[in-house]
Structure 1
Amino acid sequence: MADIFDEVEEDLRRARFERLWSKYWPVMLGFAVVVVVVVGGWRFYDYLQAQRSAAAGAKFEAALRLSRTSGSEAEQQFAALASDAPSGYRILARFRQATELAARDKAAGAAAFDALAADGGIGPVLQDLARLRAAYALVDSAPPAELVRRAEPLASADGPFRHSAREILALAALKAGDRPAAERWIKAIQDDRETPQGVRGRADLMSTVFSASGS
């Protein structure tokens, strides 16, 4: 008897399924088509983005190679990438374009880095990097007070670019003839265990010069 009841129950389930299928199959088919189209479209979009990134990467590498021999032409190529490359390469190209520009015109290069520093879309770390690069571009030409204004906010104890910012501040103090300030920033460089070797070496050299010139 149990087998008979099981067979009847199975027949009832099959009948209910067939009724549901006959009623809703267009909806189910439409939903399946939508899923296939959406997934296919997303994968095609990913493919296009990957192709764009690969092409931008190749152009960026070519511009880097060109920068060794022709900065002005490289600058033009970086400018083109900065306008139409995918986001990551667009930001890199803007930094490289500003670098090439600063090589021939310090003030114009600093202005390009200032534009990057003002762009909240690149994130605070890259904005601070742009501020530092602008200060470096002007380190030989700007008044000491201008260099202090630019670099001092980056010299905090936990700042990722504090080492270079402190070096700029030491140089600004030297330009201003402010020996106590220069020595203070040199000491900050020397006392920081995370100071890169190159920055530390230059700070040690300045300290040696101070010692040789007398207190």
Structure 2
Amino acid sequence: MVDVFEEVEEQLRTERYLALAKRAAPWVGALVATVVVVVGGGWGWTTYQNSQADKASVTLSKAAEAQQQRDESGAFAKYGEVAKSGTGPYKTLALLNQAGMRLDAGATDEAVKLFDQAAKTAPNAMVADFASLRAVYALLDTAPTADLEKRIATLSGDKRPFRMQAKEALAFLRLRDGKFKDARSEFVILQQNFDSTEGMRERAKAAVSMIDSGGAKAMADAAKLAATLPPPSQMQLPPGMQLPPEAGGAPQ
């Protein structure tokens, strides 16, 4: 986890705040296993281990194996079986995995729908908010402000399990929208709040420094311009030129 936060902080320091906003959520992916274990009885983890005869648990295991073997289509299909016929935590976990796979593939809208479904089927509030928070971060650089504000407000209540992460998302939203004064205020609060993680405080400190230096406006303008451009693979290039594979072009 330390390496993740260091990478995120470095991205912000090099003026890539949208990338930071997205990468501020790797802890979300890492929390999948943590949530399952910590919630304990709510997820029936012991039951899961002791009931391999149960069709949903067996199918879920096969899906995970397929994913480890990089059989993405096979894994997605297996998770889909559990999402359709499974119950309780199995159904929710299958939906979360499907959403994560779609998000990795760049299908954000489909991923968000799956996260929302997972939130509705979650066995408790902690897992529901976990799924909803993943949807927020998936939408953070593209969704309308009003939509995101509504989603974030739901997660920001005093007794919500991921309220601090939701408040951080709100700070990034203000930064995205060019509301630098509001963003700065939100980041300062994150710096001073005892409930913030060390990673949050470091990101907030770096964000405040960036805003005070005047670099935030240039980044926001660049981000808005970048959002209007087609993906690299769709750009028209001069004859004889190709994009490198990592930029979406054909292999050399």
TM-score of the alignment, normalized to the shorter chain, above 0.5: yes
- Cα contact 1:174–1:182 (8 A) shared by 2: yes
| C-alpha spacing 1:143/1:57, structure 2 compared with 1 (3 Å) | closer
Distance 2:80 2:198 in 1: 34
Distance 1:94 1:181 in 2: 35
Aligned pairs for 1:6-85 (under 5 A) are 49-52=51-54, 55-56=58-59, 58-66=61-69, 69-85=70-86
Residue 246 of structure 2 corresponds to none
Distance 2:63 2:88 in 1: 13
| C-alpha spacing 1:188/1:139, structure 2 compared with 1 (3 Å) | same
- Cα contact 2:57–2:90 (8 A) shared by 1: no
Residue 40 of structure 2 corresponds to none
| C-alpha spacing 1:54/1:143, structure 2 compared with 1 (3 Å) | closer
**What amino acid maps onto 2:149 in structure 1?**
V
Residue 137 of structure 1 corresponds to 138
Superposition deviation, residue 86 in structure 1 = 5.7
Distance 1:124 1:96 in 2: 18
Residue 123 of structure 1 corresponds to 124
- Cα contact 1:98–1:110 (8 A) shared by 2: yes
Larger Rg: 1
Q: Deviations over 1:111-163 (max 9, x none)?
A: 111223334x6332222222211111111211222211111221233321112
Distance 2:71 2:108 in 1: 17
Question: What SS class does the counterpart of residue 51 from structure 1 fall into?
Answer: coil
Question: What SS class does the counterpart of residue 53 from structure 2 fall into?
Answer: helix
Residue 179 of structure 1 corresponds to 180
| C-alpha spacing 1:70/1:169, structure 2 compared with 1 (3 Å) | farther
Residue 151 of structure 2 corresponds to 150
Q: Deviations over 1:1-30 (max 9, x none)?
A: xxxxxxxxxxxxxxxxxxxxxxxxxxxxxx
**What amino acid maps onto 2:164 in structure 1?**
H
Residue 109 of structure 1 corresponds to 111
**What amino acid maps onto 2:99 in structure 1?**
A
Distance 1:107 1:54 in 2: 28
**What amino acid maps onto 1:128 in structure 2?**
D
**What amino acid maps onto 1:141 in structure 2?**
T
**What amino acid maps onto 1:88 in structure 2?**
P
Residue 244 of structure 2 corresponds to none
Residue 13 of structure 2 corresponds to none
**What amino acid maps onto 2:119 in structure 1?**
A
Which ranges of structure 2 fall in alignment gaps of 5 or more residues?
A: 1-49, 216-252
Identity of aligned residues (%): 27
Question: What SS class does the counterpart of residue 122 from structure 1 fall into?
Answer: coil
TM-score (normalizing by structure 1): 0.66
Higher helix fraction (1 or 2) = 1
Question: What SS class does the counterpart of residue 157 from structure 1 fall into?
Answer: coil
Distance 1:49 1:86 in 2: 14
Distance 2:179 2:200 in 1: 20
TM-score (normalizing by structure 2): 0.57
- Which structure is higher in RCO with an 8 Å CA cutoff and minimum separation 6? 2
